[in-house]
Amino acid sequence: AQTVTQSQPEMSVQEAETVTLSCTYDTSESNYYLFWYKQPPSRQMILVIRQEAYKQQNATENRFSVNFQKAAKSFSLKISDSQLGDTAMYFCAFMRAGTALIFGKGTTLSVSS
């Protein structure tokens, strides 16, 4: 069975600084997708960034980028120039092709001024 592990329950960062959230996963599959979702206090689930396992290039979306290490089964999220609005819980998620998302336990990120 696939598992997703987020080893940092809480992180904090100052505005404008950079922070990296860790995620590891376990799978024997070769074709899969990885995601980072943001859940602000409103509890809406918002997709931040995705990575297809067959792509070697790391995904980027504006201030958000990932470090995808397929052999190490690692998928970390880097947030650059942190903003107060980035304060939220961040979930790493794994999906085999054709199946549902499997989420990690989440990392609560606090951005302070």
69 binds another protein (CB under 8 A): no
d(CA 22, CA 42): 23
Q: What minimum distance in Å lies between the beta carbon of 1 and another protein?
A: 11
**Which helix (DSSP H) or strand (DSSP E) does residue 13 occupy?**
strand 10-14
| One-letter amino acid of 21 | L
70 binds another protein (CB under 8 A): no
**Distances in Å between the alpha carbon of 113 and those of 34, 40, 41, 63?**
31, 17, 18, 18
Q: What minimum distance in Å lies between the beta carbon of 56 and another protein?
A: 15
Q: Which of residues 7-46 bind another protein (CB under 8 A)?
A: 33, 37, 42-46
- How many residues touch another protein under the rule CB under 8 A: the total is 24
84 binds another protein (CB under 8 A): no
